């Protein structure tokens, strides 16, 4: 690790964008870009473990992605299955705990069982919490939280930010310190819209399959140079 890593974000979230453009630039089908992006995830996970990051959240499939061509959706589902089949043992050995963000019940039964199995197998790990946002949308998450509070008859006067947080898919997880978006797009894309209130953003033109460990370190170094004020005045201790 670089000596410049003086401040490590506890929680990094990544919008893994640019797989399709990466493939098209090489004359390949879009699905090949998604496969390359999944292969790339391995070194980013290791990079986070080596750097001491405790939480890594990846935006893998949004609630809006169901509207993509059927062939691409089915291919993405197959890639998720393959990733879990191939990487689970190694992730478990490295102390990685797998979590899922999103409406798991809406996923195809076969892949849902694989996700549930991966969470069960790694549930005791704590070196890195890897949250996979699959069938996830930030607005849908807030709707889900409201629905759950109504079902449990939570009274209006009892609703606080802390309580809402306990009904989100990310309950018991700290908000992201750093959100990375690859491919240069300048939008949030319905990702962690509640949790990202005071996150630092790092936008890079690098397409996701090319976002390697060195690029990750650049993002962490950039984060370490930020003055996080959380709406307060610079110079006041806002970190704790």
Active site residues: 17, 65
Tokens of 118: 């991966």
Tokens of 149: 């509070």
- Listing DSSP states for 155-197 in one string gives -GGG--HHHHHTTSTTTTSPPPSEEEE-TT----TTSSTTTTT
Sheet holding 178-181, edge to edge: 96-101, 128-136, 55-62, 11-15, 178-181, 200-203
**Helix runs in the chain, H state only:** 19-25, 30-51, 70-93, 109-121, 138-151, 161-165, 213-224
Report the alpha-carbon distance of residue 149 to residue 159 in Å, rounded: 9
Distances (CA, A) of 130 to 20, 86, 96, 226, 233: 24, 16, 7, 24, 33
CA atoms within 13 A on the CB side of 127: 14
């Amino acid at each position: 690790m670089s000596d410049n890593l003086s401040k490590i974000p506890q929680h990094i979230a990544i919008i893994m964008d640019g797989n399709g453009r990466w493939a098209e630039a090489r004359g390949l089908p879009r699905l090949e870009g998604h496969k390359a992006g999944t292969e790339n995830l391995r070194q980013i996970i290791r990079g986070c473990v080596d750097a001491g990051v405790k939480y890594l959240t990846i935006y893998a499939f949004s609630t809006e992605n169901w509207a993509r061509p059927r062939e691409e959706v089915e291919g993405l589902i197959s890639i998720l299955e393959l990733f879990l089949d191939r990487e689970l043992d190694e992730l478990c050995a490295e102390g990685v705990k797998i979590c899922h963000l999103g409406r798991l019940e809406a996923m195809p039964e076969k892949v849902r069982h694989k996700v549930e199995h991966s969470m069960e197998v790694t549930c005791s790990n704590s070196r890195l919490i890897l949250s996979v946002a699959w069938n996830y949308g930030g607005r849908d998450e807030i709707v889900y939280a409201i629905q759950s509070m109504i079902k449990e008859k939570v009274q209006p006067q009892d609703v606080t930010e802390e309580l809402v947080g306990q009904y989100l898919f990310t309950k018991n997880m700290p908000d992201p310190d750093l959100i990375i978006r690859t491919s240069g797009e300048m939008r949030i894309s319905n990702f962690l819209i509640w949790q990202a209130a005071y996150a630092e953003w790092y936008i890079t033109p690098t397409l996701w399959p090319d976002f390697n460990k060195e690029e990750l370190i650049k993002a962490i170094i950039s984060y370490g140079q930020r003055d996080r004020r959380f709406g307060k005045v610079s110079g006041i201790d806002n970190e704790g």
